[in-house]
Amino acid sequence: MIAYLEHFVHENDSDAMLQQEDEETASRLCQAMDLQGTIDYRSTGYAGKDFGGLHASTPFAVIRPSGSHDIASVIRFASQSPNLTVAARGNGHSINGQAMANRGLVLDMKESSDAGIDLIRYTDGYAVDVGGGALWEDVLRWCVSEFGYSPRSWTDYLGLTVGGTLSNAGVSGQTFRYGPQTSNVTELEVVTGNGDTVICSDTQNSELFFSVLGGLGQFGIITRARVLVQPAPDMVRWIRVVYSEFDEFTQDAESLITQSEGESFDYVEGFVFVNSDDPVNGWPSVLLNPDHAFDPTPMTRFDNPVLYCLEVALHYNKGNCSTTVDTRVEKLLGRLRFMEDTQFQVDLTYVDFLLRVKEAEKQAKANGIWDTPHPWLNLFVSKTSIMDFDRFVFKKILKDGIGGPMLVYPILRSKWDERASIVLPEGEIFYIVALLRFTNPYQKSPSVRDLVLQNQEIIQTCVRSGFDFKLYLPHYNTEDDWKQHFGDRWLWFVEMKSRYDPMAILAPGQKIFTRHD
């Protein structure tokens, strides 16, 4: 069986070879791997694509594991071949083929979350156990409906898996307070590249724990995570205000994220938009409810190419009377220097707030722009470089917008655990910059190639200007670039790889290490 597969993994085999498989092969593979789950080597197309739509690959087979046992069996099976690789695929929402295994085995991890049954008491709080393939949107609904509790740290969009975001970081408007999602798990179950199933935490097998968090899938496959939770509020007031000047926007955002809890909002984000009436990139993108009356006059007074929107949210419970909420919001907004008459707000349930991007997903699917390519670029830019980033990138290169959100908001480095694999710029405050490009097949717009080139131009601008920055959800093609990315963490990263996945079987789509014997 291994010999048969080796033919497949050699790139120069003819396509006819790919046709040779039959039902017998599947059942022989299942037996050889001792699988309780299923294997599919015909309908594998979806696992050769991702949300980015920029890369394609041909996996040999997609396996739906029935548990950690299957995952360990698949990895051990692959280790008997000199070439075979294994990629965990969460929801395939990567941009650059990170969850793919060309001519390898893809583990389809996605599952609905029903792993935990109880709230687990943890030091001075509670946690829940969830599967590595659980979608965060299921974790949210399940935690709130079962216990009235909720994880503390989120991503903006929740159609992502627990293992997929923990392999990167997982950031959103709560990160300033609780750190990324990687700082909000206390224990993991991981199947390493050696095929061992290991429980790890900051006190037990801690090197594996921290290397896996933000580890780009390089050291093991997360099969279970213990996620910190807290009582879920009933309601959220979601507010947007507009700034003409970037320095005022950043100073206000930074002042909000450095206040103690109770003295600030519960969520702080922001974005840049074009100073025009363009429905996608311009003033209308600030509206929280398209039915709201909208008078753009305050924004028309400025001739800046772009403006800035600070987005905040305050949690409250149904028992709070509305004047108390109004008073708290007024007090917090009263300290800020946004433009007069540019305050937009809505009240919605906590669950609807966290699922807010789901509505945008539905619309994008209806408009045909969810399935087109997304050449996204995500960066962490240090506070020391963000003013120049605005000057050179937002105000010049991106002055006409990108057909989607251009997020920019500050986060605090001290909320990140430096022992995890993620690399960050220097300094306590840095900004996430997320250029979430959408391409419309029905409109005349720059080609995907031009957009990728524009991303490269932005990175080159950062390098040439000496900005202190790191790519988030990084994508590089050469070892030198990866070395540069990890900086003084590179040797540690390599050492962890040699310990937990010495044959480089896992996550080949990240293109960091090459499979070897």
The residues annotated with a catalytic role in the active site are: 93, 156, 269
**How many beta carbons lie within 10 A of that of residue 142, not counting itself?**
18
Tokens of 317: 């419970």
Burial class from Cβ neighbours inside 10 Å (0-12, 13-18, 19+) for residue 422 reads buried
DSSP output for 101-142 = -TTSEEEE--B-S----S-EEETTEEEEEEETTBBHHHHHHH
Cβ partners under 8 Å of residue 259, min gap 6: none
Show the DSSP H helices in 150-216 as ranges.
162-166, 175-178, 206-212
- Return the residue nearest ligand FAD (CB atom): 163
Taken in order 414, 419, 424, 427, is the CA torsion positive or negative?
positive
Indicate the residue among 55 and 299 with the shorter CB distance to ligand FAD. Answer: 55
* Distance between CA atoms of residues 240 and 338, nearest Å: 10
* Distance between CA atoms of residues 373 and 446, nearest Å: 12
Element (H, E) at 64: strand 61-64
Using the 8-state DSSP alphabet, how is residue 291 labeled? T
Indicate the residue among 172 and 275 with the shorter CB distance to ligand FAD. Answer: 172
Indicate the residue among 33 and 105 with the shorter CB distance to ligand FAD. Answer: 105
Indicate the residue among 129 and 234 with the shorter CB distance to ligand FAD. Answer: 129
- C-alpha distances (whole Å) from 76 to each of 10, 192, 304, 457, 499 are 20, 10, 59, 42, 15
Min separation Cβ 279 and ligand FAD, Å? 20
Indicate the residue among 170 and 270 with the shorter CB distance to ligand FAD. Answer: 170
* Distance between CA atoms of residues 475 and 513, nearest Å: 13
Min separation Cβ 39 and ligand FAD, Å? 18
Indicate the residue among 110 and 339 with the shorter CB distance to ligand FAD. Answer: 110
Classified as helix, coil or strand, 151 is strand
Per the CB < 8 A criterion, the answer to whether 231 and 143 are in contact is no
Min separation Cβ 11 and ligand FAD, Å? 21
**How many beta carbons lie within 10 A of that of residue 44, not counting itself?**
16
Indicate the residue among 65 and 276 with the shorter CB distance to ligand FAD. Answer: 65
Min separation Cβ 204 and ligand FAD, Å? 18
Tokens of 424: 């960050």
Indicate the residue among 214 and 401 with the shorter CB distance to ligand FAD. Answer: 214
Phi-psi region of 367 (alpha: psi -120 to 50; beta: other; left: phi over 0): alpha
In 3D space, the residue among 134, 131, 129 whose CA is nearest the CA of residue 117 turns out to be 129
Min separation Cβ 309 and ligand FAD, Å? 16
Min separation Cβ 396 and ligand FAD, Å? 26
Which residues on neighbouring strands pair with residue 506, listed in sequence order? 86
Per the CB < 8 A criterion, the answer to whether 286 and 306 are in contact is no
Min separation Cβ 403 and ligand FAD, Å? 14
* Distance between CA atoms of residues 250 and 309, nearest Å: 10
Enumerate binding residues for ligand FAD (CB under 6 A): 51, 87-94, 98-99, 109, 132, 155-157, 160-161, 163-165, 167-172, 216-217, 221-222, 473, 507, 509-510
In 3D space, the residue among 159, 155, 452, 394 whose CA is nearest the CA of residue 271 turns out to be 394
Min separation Cβ 264 and ligand FAD, Å? 20
Q: How many residues does the chain have?
A: 517
Per the CB < 8 A criterion, the answer to whether 100 and 59 are in contact is yes
Indicate the residue among 222 and 462 with the shorter CB distance to ligand FAD. Answer: 222
Per the CB < 8 A criterion, the answer to whether 233 and 144 are in contact is no
Min separation Cβ 507 and ligand FAD, Å? 4
* Distance between CA atoms of residues 447 and 3, nearest Å: 43
